[in-house]
Structure 1
Amino acid sequence: MKPSHFLIAITCCLSFPFSSFAQNNAQAKAASLNHIAFYVADLNIASTFYRDFFDLKEIPNPFNDQKHTWFSLGPNSALHIISGAKTKGNYFIEEHLCFSTPSIEIFIKKLKAQKISYMSFNKVINEVTLRPDGVHQLYLQDPDGHWIEVNDAKL
């Protein structure tokens, strides 16, 4: 084999894996949300809250036990509630789950009918925050103290 043919063959062999790797990196997709999971003190109370108040659809839980409830949060995303918290948590409002609703006014009526208090981000009771982008948002806590934002953002 001529030295020039040998160099061409080596160059092709060495460049193939690297060009293949670069192509795979360029085609890689961003990570996507799969699920959110957190502990609750009373699984039945928390499950009822998320199922009935937010109209979340319960989905099969592969553990098939009485310790987990899984809810769909839309295509390819879920909320996993797990029994086991010893007490209610003392959480920061910045650490929250957020749901969007078509009408914040209708959602507030639902809150009032259930006698559930809400507040602005600055924790002013029964006040809604207006973000700079025009989105209205309010905050409430689930039975275990986890913060939930509800807004009227159009995604």
Structure 2
Amino acid sequence: MKLRIIAAFALLACIPASLSAQQKKAPTIRANHVALYVTNLATSTRFYQELIGLDTIPEPFHDKKHTWFSIGDKAHLHLIQGRTTEPVPSKNSHICFSTSRLDEVIKTFIREKIPFEDWAGTASGVTHRVDGIRQIYFKDPDGYWIEINDDFQP
């Protein structure tokens, strides 16, 4: 399984020869966000704002259950209210990568029999967020969740 995932990511680096020199230099995948499922959103938000010094950024859900921070060039930290138990690997705690080639990733995962699912847990499903972004989820060899979405902007 680990080698298949590594091989799938390696395929993302393969760029067709027909692309221009500028397109060949453009990255095809990068970190997008880290999500932490927290017990108390206000306490965690204050910690990351005041102690760590992160700046908040607009978040699309407006449900008072999320705080988003900028953690670098086009990278974010998402705090999500709701944790009531000790942390365990779940989709609410995941790392996310963005790609301009989500359809190719999905085809590779299907061909290589790498299981993935949508947010609801539907095998081989794709989540369509309210803001139009598509996303899939899968586990790394240790059981931690990884998201890949198409929110890729060079």
Name the TM-score, length of structure 2 as normaliser. Answer: 0.45
Name the TM-score, length of structure 1 as normaliser. Answer: 0.45
The structure richer in helix per residue is: 1
Q: Radius of gyration: which is bigger?
A: 1
Higher RCO structure, 1 or 2 (CA under 8 Å, sep 6+)? 2
